């Protein structure tokens, strides 16, 4: 793979993708002829596990890989650009390693996409016919863009060494790759947007405006949410890869490199994830403005307990990353000065987690609704958004402080105003924490509209302002600081790497669950309010059942990802052997 010529590599890529896609189309054609005609209302049934579960698993696997191959190129090209500008070979190497990862993952993405392509029209022919009738042209555009992306991706990868002298052009290729990836995401988000918040059609489903059907309430917010989440996810997978390589590394040099790669990827992942609540909020606002009932049903109805599950998962991720950063203090000369703060950060995280996990009372029957009312009599005050938003923001603030402590732990400021700087830092932390807490308490006495539209954004804004202020202050204060000692990359206990892998596993599970909730918001509709799902699967299963399917998808995905990791290592060995022979 890595040694092939540029043209040969691109041609190979095009042939491979055409073969995968072609095989899908042929299979679709043959199976359509072989299988029984669909039922009167337009369904075929997948053996044993049923059509819904089959599509659920295949779609989730395809989405996970798509998220990976769309997310990783963004920070690969960013690393390449920074490496180029700073003449840092290490950054160029990490960018190349990321590129290896997503180029290989493209094939698996295409295979999963092809299975999805065959499955949907076979199992849900009436629904797909309708979607093609409304959004057909976008599907052909999708194919064209996908081919463009394949060509640019292979060009970008295979020309890495050849275009070393023309780095600007190579970086431009990486940017183009990301533009095409974003375009693909825009197209697929339009499909999901139409299914969930349809527009551009009459109440009977007749097309009125194709642009209207594309430009739905959900379209852009969903795109933004996926775009950001893809970066978080892609970086998480890269961190898991680095952790895996660290664990099996044989030399100190390898350990040092993969330790650094794991740290960089994990920080990108968690850092970018700070944007998710903001874009998630935008998505929520659009869902509410499309249909308030759908919004409330999603946030507080049948899915209410899955938000508690989300809290368990994100809280776990925060604990894992904090644990990793606290362990990392050991490799920083001077890090021991900050050990004393860890217990306070731990307490904040623990309290935040406890509040976040407190469920809002969810009545599951008429009797229970009559008995308990809307809120739980004892824990109701902590189970509402006013408390949860506050707890989440404070937990994130604690996480940022863990990161800031790690970054500064091997430095000693030399500026004359260092003492005032430390005081200013404490003031920023206290003011922002008290402000977030105060706004949270005030949220209890205002209307839902003021809480959601005014106070929550201010709380989040205050947190972001504090982050930026701390970052600027630290950057100034530690400019030209005395270095106590360089980080001892590679000198990390193995358990730190398991924390990185745990982040990725948890995030994958979380993505599976949120994807299910997003699809489940449509309840028993293929296209909400327009096309009813009349199949036997037209219901939302129990949370336990959904957990089983999500677990299966997550494990299958991780198995396939580990095969990608293994293939990369195999290829590296082949390249090494060839070099040895030469």
Partner 1 sequence: MKKGVLKLAIIVIGLNLTFLYIGLAFLPQSESRPPKVIKIAEGISQEELIQVGEEIVFGKGQCMVCHVGKPEAGMRSPAMSGIGAEMEKEAKARGITPEEHVFEALVNPSKYIVKGFEDIMSPVHTPPTSMTDGEIIAVAAYLQSQGGKVTLSYPGSLPILKAQISKAGGK
Residues whose CB falls within 8 Å of the CB of residue 123, separated by 6 or more in sequence, listed in order: 43, 44, 45, 46, 51, 54, 55
Least distance to partner 1, CB of residue 108, Å: 18
Q: Which of 525, 526, 518 is nearest to 546 (CA)?
A: 518
Report the distance separating Cα 232 and Cα 504, nearest Å.
Answer: 10
In whole angstroms, the minimum distance from the beta carbon of 189 to partner 1 comes to 22
Residue 206 beta carbon to partner 1: minimum distance, rounded to whole angstroms? 15
Residue closer to partner 1 (CB basis): 172 or 363: 363
Report the nearest approach of partner 1 to the CB of residue 509 (Å). 5
**With helix as H, strand as E and coil as C, how does 96-119 read?**
HHHHHHHHHHHHHHHHHHHHHHHH
Between 46 and 498, name the residue whose CB sits nearer to partner 1: 498
Please report how close the Cβ of residue 550 comes to partner 1 at its closest, in angstroms: 8
Residues forming the site for partner 1 (CB under 8 A) = 203, 244, 247-248, 250, 288, 291-294, 296-297, 300-302, 305-306, 308-309, 312-313, 362-364, 366, 369-370, 373-375, 444-449, 451, 494, 498, 501-502, 505-506, 509, 523-525, 528-530, 538-544, 546-548, 550-551, 554-555, 558
Q: Which DSSP state fits 452?
A: I
For the bound state, the minimum distance from the C-beta of residue 204 to partner 1, rounded and expressed in Å, comes to: 10
| Residue nearer to partner 1 on the CB measure, 404 or 513 | 513
Closer residue to partner 1, CB minimum distance, 192 or 549: 549
Burial 20-44 (b: 16+ CB within 10 A, else e): bbeebeebbeeeeeeeeebeeebbb
Kindly state the helix (H) or strand (E) to which residue 532 belongs, with its residue range. Answer: strand 531-532
**Closer CB to partner 1, 111 or 296, in the complex:** 296
Minimum distance from residue 406 beta carbon to partner 1 (Å): 23
CA dist 190 and 200 (Å) reads 12
DSSP assignment of 127-179 equals HHHHHHHHHHHHHHHHHHHHHHHHHHHHHHHHTTTTTGGGHHHHHHHHHHHHH
Q: How far is the CB of 494 from partner 1 (least distance, A)?
A: 7
C-beta of 121 vs 490, nearer to partner 1 = 490
Tell me the C-alpha to C-alpha distance, in Å, between residue 73 and each of 184, 235, 270, 494, 508.
14, 10, 17, 28, 19
Please report, for residues 319, 356, 482, the alpha-carbon distance to residue 269 in angstroms, rounded to integers and kept in the order given: 14, 22, 29
Closest approach, Cβ 369 to partner 1, in A, equals 6
**Nearer Cβ to partner 1, position 248 or 427?**
248
Residue closer to partner 1 by CB (options 101, 118) is 101
Residue whose CB is less far from partner 1, 19 or 538: 538
CB of 149 to partner 1, least distance (A): 30
Cα gap 338→355, rounded to integer Å: 27
For partner 1, the closer CB: 164 or 453 = 453
Closer residue to partner 1 in complex, CB, 21/249: 249
- Number of residues that make up the chain: 582
Buried b (16+ CB within 10 A) or exposed e, 386-410: bbbbbbbbbbbbbbbbbbbbbbbbb
Strands 525-527 and 531-532: antiparallel
Q: Quick count: other Cβ atoms within 10 Å of Cβ 579?
A: 9
Beta strands in 372-422 (DSSP E): 411-412
> Is the CB of 13 or the CB of 383 nearer to partner 1?
383
**b/e per residue 357-366 (b: at least 16 CB within 10 A):** bbebbbeeee
Q: Which residue has the tokens 């989300």?
A: 310
Q: How far is CA 174 from CA 91, 170, 184, in A?
A: 15, 6, 15
Nearest Cα neighbor of 236 from 157, 317, 124 is 317
Q: Could you tell me whether strands 482-483 and 525-527 are parallel, antiparallel, or unpaired per DSSP bridges?
A: unpaired
Task: Please tell me the number of Cα atoms within 13 Å of 514 on its side-chain side.
Answer: 20
Q: How far is the CB of 277 from partner 1 (least distance, A)?
A: 21
SS3 347: helix
Rounded CA Rg of the chain: 25
Shorter beta-carbon distance to partner 1: residue 27 or 357:
357
- Minimum CB separation of residue 173 from partner 1 in Å reads 35
Q: What six digits make up the tokens of 59?
A: 């779609």
Which residues neighbour 15 within 8 Å (Cβ) at sequence distance 6 or greater? Answer: none
Give the nearest distance from C-beta 320 to partner 1 in angstroms: 10
Report, in Å, the least distance between residue 500 CB and partner 1.
11
Nearer to partner 1 by Cβ, of 169 and 545: the residue is 545
């Amino acid at each position: 793979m890595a040694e092939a010529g540029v043209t040969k590599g691109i041609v190979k890529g095009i042939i491979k993708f055409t073969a995968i896609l072609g095989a899908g189309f042929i299979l679709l054609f043959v199976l359509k002829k072989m299988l029984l005609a669909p039922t009167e209302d337009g369904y075929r049934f997948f053996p044993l596990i049923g059509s819904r579960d089959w599509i659920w698993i295949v779609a989730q696997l395809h989405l996970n890989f798509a998220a990976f191959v769309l997310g990783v190129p963004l920070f690969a090209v960013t690393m390449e650009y920074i490496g180029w500008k700073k003449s840092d070979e290490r950054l160029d190497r990490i960018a190349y390693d990321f590129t290896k990862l997503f180029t290989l993952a493209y094939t698996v993405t295409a295979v999963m996409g092809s299975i999805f392509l065959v499955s949907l029209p076979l199992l849900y022919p009436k629904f797909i016919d309708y979607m093609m009738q409304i959004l057909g042209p976008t599907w052909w555009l999708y194919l064209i863009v996908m081919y463009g992306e394949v060509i640019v991706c292979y060009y970008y990868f295979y020309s890495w060494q050849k275009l070393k002298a023309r780095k600007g052009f190579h970086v431009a290729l990486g940017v183009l790759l990301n533009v095409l990836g974003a375009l693909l995401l825009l197209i697929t988000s339009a499909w999901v947007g139409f299914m969930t918040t349809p527009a551009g059609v009459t109440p009977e489903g007749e097309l009125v405006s194709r642009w209207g059907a594309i430009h739905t309430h959900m379209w852009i917010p969903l795109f933004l949410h996926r775009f950001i989440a893809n970066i978080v996810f892609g970086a998480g997978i890269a961190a898991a890869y680095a952790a895996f390589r660290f664990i099996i590394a044989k030399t100190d040099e390898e350990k040092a490199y993969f330790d650094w790669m794991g740290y960089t990827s994990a920080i990108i992942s968690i850092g970018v994830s700070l944007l998710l609540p903001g874009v998630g909020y935008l998505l929520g606002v659009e869902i509410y403005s499309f249909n308030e009932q759908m919004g409330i049903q999603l946030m507080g109805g049948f899915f209410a307990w899955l938000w508690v599950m989300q809290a368990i998962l994100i809280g776990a991720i925060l604990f894992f990353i904090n644990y990793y950063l606290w362990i990392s203090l050991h490799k920083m000369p001077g890090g021991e000065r900050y050990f004393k703060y860890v217990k306070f950060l731990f307490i904040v995280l623990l309290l935040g987690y406890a509040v976040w996990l407190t469920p809002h009372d969810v009545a599951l029957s008429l009797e229970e609704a009559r008995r308990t009312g809307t809120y739980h009599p004892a824990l109701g005050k902590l189970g509402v958004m006013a408390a949860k938003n506050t707890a989440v923001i404070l937990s994130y603030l604690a996480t940022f402080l863990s990161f800031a402590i790690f970054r500064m732990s091997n430095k000693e400021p030399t500026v004359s105003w260092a003492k005032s700087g430390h005081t200013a830092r404490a003031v920023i932390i206290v003011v922002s924490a008290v402000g977030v807490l105060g706004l949270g308490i005030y949220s209890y006495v205002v209307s839902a509209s003021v809480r959601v539209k005014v106070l929550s954004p201010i709380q989040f804004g205050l947190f972001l302002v504090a982050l930026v202020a701390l970052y600027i202050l630290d950057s100034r204060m530690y400019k030209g600081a005395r270095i106590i000692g360089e980080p001892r990359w590679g000198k990390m206990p193995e358990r730190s790497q398991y924390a990185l892998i745990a982040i990725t596993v948890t995030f994958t599970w979380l993505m599976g669950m949120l994807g299910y909730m997003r699809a489940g918001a449509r309840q028993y509709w293929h296209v909400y309010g327009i096309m009813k799902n009349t199949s036997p699967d037209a219901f939302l299963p129990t949370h336990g059942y959904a957990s089983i399917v999500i677990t299966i998808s997550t494990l299958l995905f991780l198995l396939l990802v580990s095969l990608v990791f293994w293939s990369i290592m195999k290829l590296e060995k082949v390249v090494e052997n060839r070099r040895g022979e030469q």
